[in-house]
């Protein structure tokens, strides 16, 4: 059903604006979302705020259940994911195939049994109401996220890498290891590690990081993708999906380098563009 | 307007494959399904669907003599049961199926005599995966009804019941109720078990009205059998 702040109920309903309640509201926020191409799951991290002592009490007494309503128009998909109010990191896992395109999410509070004396001083009109099982007693604002695998493509590819610091590693600059779930780029100098983290935080430098660090690591991974000892590693699963239609048997370094550049959508050109842009800014400044 | 443009783009991209002029002339000559064929270039844009269809063994000979929707749906479902979610949620899959792989079947089921291109588009192609459009596409309708109705307990009985009362598809599947699939499935089970022989247009209209009113303030998807039984 289409819920909005104008929706009318025969009892006060908690909304994102204080309408039938004097001051109480419910807010819903998406903090982050990650698409996992290996499992085809979309993990959506959210936070919410129910500013109503009355409703919070009913939730505690287990008279009200909270759900996240997920509606994807593009795939004609509607689902209610029950939320258990435990822990700080709240997230839901959604079927990444059934959820596609612009997807609307909102929190919906539903009575899980008949509530005879639905009454509170928080109500605008002081009266006692009856709420039936499965009646909606509150709903939040709607948050829309764009679930397209393309949006998550880069994020997901980069999620197979990790940059770490280990002073015991013997190397000149950095070393790449494939033993773990992620492809590890290890540096042995704290100063380098800190500088790297600073560089990564600036989007303008990302293509440079791709070109200088990620591509060599990715090439190494592609060359070892058929190695049986790495078959169960997460990075191997993700790369195998992305390279499902590519023949990687006996692959040469040149071909691996080409594939790595294609996978990362040619960061070399982006890097050159960004350098030129930074140069011109520097000249302007001078 | 935006949707219409989108539909036209999809529809046109498919119809360029079929050669519009040929369809029109053939429709007039009542021989459409004998000569209708595709340009090879279409395969480039439908690689995924094409390779998928390669894996489906659909014997067109079996379709001969089948004269009701339920039997067609059963045959179609049995042959296309193992497709992945991403494929059955792809309108290109259904459009491709209807205009290439099973066009003989589709056209044999539709009376194309004198049918205009617009009508042909509406009957054969899906505009979107939205249920209103989806259930206009003959093949998609058969498959999606079967997909919702089939289960280990009832096997094909629920689907047979639904296809024998086509107004159920018109009223319940084509409306917003279809979005609440768990609810719809339970409702069909209850109708099948209790009202099997009393399904009339008037009765369905009454149920539809009831559900619409209830869904204004409740999450019908969470209803149990008992609560749905009260509605009917």
User: Between residues A184 and B61, which one has the greater pLDDT?
Assistant: A184
Alpha carbon distance B43, A267 (integer Å): 31
Closest by CA to B100, choosing from B58, B128, B134, B130, is B58
Tell me: ipTM over 0.85: no
Phi, psi dihedral angles at B31 (to 5 degrees): -125, 20
The pLDDT, as a whole number, for residue A111 is 96
Mean pLDDT of B8-30: 43
Tell me what pLDDT residue A270 has: 75
Please judge whether A110 and B179 are an interchain contact, meaning their C-beta atoms are less than 8 angstroms apart.
no
Is B85 in contact with A97 (Cβ distance < 8 A)? yes
Residue from B138, B112, B90, B108 nearest B28 by CA: B112
CB atoms within 10 A of CB B106: 20
Gap between the Cα atoms of B11 and B125, Å rounded: 7
| Inter-chain touch A80–B219, beta carbons under 8 Å | yes
3-class SS letters over B126-188:
CCCCCHHHHCCCHHHHHHHHHHHHCECCCECHHHHHHHHCHHHHHHHHCCHHHHCHHHHHHHH
Point out which residues pair with A36 in neighbouring strands: A41
pTM of the model: 0.67
The count of other CB atoms within 10 Å of the CB of residue B157 is 14
Closest by Cβ to B180, choosing from A74, A78, A100:
A78
Residue for token digits 């293509």?
Answer: A207
The string of pLDDT tens digits covering residues B76-123 is 888 776 676 767 777 777 776 776 666 656 666 666 666 666 676 677
- The Cα–Cα gap between A107 and A26 comes to 9
At how many degrees (to 10) do helices B69-79 and B138-149 cross? 80
Contact A24, A54 (CB under 8 A): yes
Task: Give A-chain residues touching B218 at CB under 8 angstroms.
Answer: 110, 132, 134-136
**Closest chain A residue to B224 measured between Cα atoms?**
A134
Closest Cα partner for B132 from B92, B177, B164? B177
Please give the pLDDT value at position B37.
37
- The separation between the first and the last C-alpha atoms of chain A, rounded to the nearest angstrom, is 59
Asked whether A31 and A46 are in contact (CB, 8 A), the reply is yes
User: Is residue A117 helix, strand or coil?
Assistant: strand
Compute CA A222 distance to the chain's CA centroid, rounded to the nearest angstrom: 26
Mean of pLDDT over chain B: 72
Question: Chain A: which residues have CB within 8 Å of chain B?
Answer: 1, 7, 9-10, 67, 69, 71, 73-80, 95, 97-98, 100, 108, 110, 132-136
Asked which of A21-35, A56-70, A127-141 is least confident by mean pLDDT, the reply is A21-35
Among A42, A134, A138, the residue to mutate for chain B (most B Cβ within 10 A): A134
CB A187 within 8 A of CB A165: yes
To the nearest 10 degrees (0 to 180), the angle between helices B117-124 and B2-18 is 100
Alpha helices in chain A (DSSP H): 53-60, 149-158, 190-200, 206-209, 215-223, 234-242, 253-263, 267-285
The band of A100, judged by pLDDT with boundaries at 50, 70 and 90, is confident
The tokens of A63 are what?
A: 């008279």
Residue A26: DSSP 8-state: E
- Residue B111 tokens read as 């009376």
**CB nearest A136 (choices: B85, B219, B227):** B219
Shortest distance, CA B220 to any CA of chain A (angstroms) = 7
Q: What is the DSSP letter of A56?
A: H
Among A76, A113, A130, the strongest candidate for a mutation testing the B interface, having the largest count of B CBs within 10 A, is: A76
Chain B residues with a Cβ under 8 Å from any Cβ in chain A? 84-86, 89, 128-131, 134, 176, 178-181, 215-223, 227
The reported pLDDT for the residue numbered B183 is 95
Pair A113, A141: CB distance under 8 Å? no
Name the residue facing A110 among B84, B131, B219 (closest C-beta). B219
**CA A194 – CA A200 distance, rounded (Å):** 10
Q: What pLDDT score does A286 carry?
A: 59
A151 is written with which tokens? 């949006």
Alpha carbon A92 to its chain's center = 10
Contact B217 A136 (CB under 8 A): yes
Going along chain A, which residue ranges are E strands?
26-36, 41-50, 64-72, 77-83, 90-95, 101-111, 115-118, 129-131, 136-139, 143-147, 161-165, 174-177, 183-187
- Nearest C-alpha neighbor of A3 from the set A51, A93, A71, A103: A71
pLDDT value, residue B22:
40
Q: Is B214 helix (H, G, I), strand (E, B) or coil?
A: helix
Do A134 and B216 lie within an 8 Å CB cutoff? no
Sign of CA dihedral B38, B44, B46, B47: positive
Closest approach of A2 to chain B, Cα-based (Å): 8
Q: What is the DSSP letter of B220?
A: G
Question: Which residue of B90, B218, B224 is the best one to mutate when testing the A interface, meaning the one whose CB has the most A CBs within 10 A?
Answer: B218
Query: Residue B27 above 50 pLDDT?
Result: no
Minimal Cα distance from A80: which residue of B?
Answer: B221
What is the C-alpha to C-alpha distance for residues A137 and B77, in angstroms, rounded to an integer? Answer: 41
Closest-CA residue of A relative to B215 is A1
Helix (H) or strand (E) holding A120: none
The two beta strands, A26-36 and A41-50, are antiparallel
% helix, strand, coil for chain A, step of 5: 30, 30, 35
Which tens digits make up the pLDDT trace of B181-225? 999 999 999 999 987 777 888 999 999 999 999 988 899 999 999
Q: How far is A89 from chain B (nearest CA, A)?
A: 26
């Amino acid at each position: 059903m289409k819920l909005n702040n104008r929706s009318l109920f025969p009892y006060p309903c908690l909304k994102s604006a204080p309408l039938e309640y004097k001051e109480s509201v419910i807010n819903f926020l998406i903090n982050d979302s990650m698409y996992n191409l290996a499992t085809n799951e979309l993990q959506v991290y959210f936070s919410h705020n129910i500013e109503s002592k009355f409703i919070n009490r009913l939730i505690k007494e287990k008279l009200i259940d909270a759900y996240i309503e997920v509606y994807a128009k593009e795939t004609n998909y509607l689902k209610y994911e029950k939320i258990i109010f435990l822990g700080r990191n709240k997230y839901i896992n959604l079927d990444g195939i059934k959820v596609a395109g612009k997807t609307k999410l909102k929190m919906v509070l539903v009575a899980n049994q008949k509530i005879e004396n639905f009454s509170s001083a928080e109500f605008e009109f002081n009266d006692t109401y009856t709420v039936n099982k499965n009646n909606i007693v509150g709903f939040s604002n709607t948050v829309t996220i764009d679930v397209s695998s393309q949006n998550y493509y880069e994020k997901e590819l980069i999620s197979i890498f990790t940059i770490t610091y280990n002073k015991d590693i013997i190397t000149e600059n950095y070393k790449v290891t494939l033993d773990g779930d992620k492809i590890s780029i290890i540096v042995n100098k704290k100063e380098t590690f800190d500088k790297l983290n600073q560089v990564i935080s600036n989007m303008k430098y990302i293509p440079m990081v791709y070109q200088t660090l990620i591509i060599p690591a990715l090439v190494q991974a592609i060359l070892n993708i058929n190695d049986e000892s790495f078959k169960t590693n997460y990075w191997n699963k993700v790369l195998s999906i992305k390279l499902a239609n590519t023949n990687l048997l006996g692959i040469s370094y040149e071909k691996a380098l080409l594939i790595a550049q294609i996978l990362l959508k040619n960061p070399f050109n982006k890097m050159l563009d960004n350098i030129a842009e930074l140069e011109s800014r520097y000249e302007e400044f001078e | 307007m935006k949707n219409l443009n989108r539909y036209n783009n999809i529809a046109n991209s498919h119809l360029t494959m079929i050669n519009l002029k040929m369809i029109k002339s053939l429709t007039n000559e009542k021989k459409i399904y004998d000569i209708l064929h595709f340009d090879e270039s279409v395969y480039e844009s439908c690689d995924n669907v094409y390779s998928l269809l390669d894996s489906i063994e659909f014997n067109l000979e079996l379709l001969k003599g089948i004269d009701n929707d339920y039997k067609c749906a059963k045959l179609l479902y049995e042959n296309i049961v193992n497709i992945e979610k991403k494929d059955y949620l792809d309108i290109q899959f259904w459009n491709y199926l209807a205009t290439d792989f099973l066009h003989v079947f589709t056209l044999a089921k539709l009376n194309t005599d004198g049918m205009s291109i617009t009508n042909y588009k509406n009957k054969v192609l899906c505009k979107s995966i939205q249920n209103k459009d989806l259930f206009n596409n003959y093949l998609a309708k058969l498959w999606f009804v079967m997909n919702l109705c089939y289960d280990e307990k009832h096997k094909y009985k629920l689907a047979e019941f639904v296809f024998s009362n086509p107004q159920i598809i018109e009223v319940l599947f084509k409306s917003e109720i279809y979005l609440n699939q768990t609810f719809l499935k339970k409702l069909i089970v209850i109708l099948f078990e209790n009202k099997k022989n009393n399904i009339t247009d008037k009765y369905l209209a009454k149920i539809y009205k009831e559900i619409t009113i209830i869904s204004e303030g409740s999450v019908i998807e969470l209803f149990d059998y008992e609560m749905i039984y009260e509605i009917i």
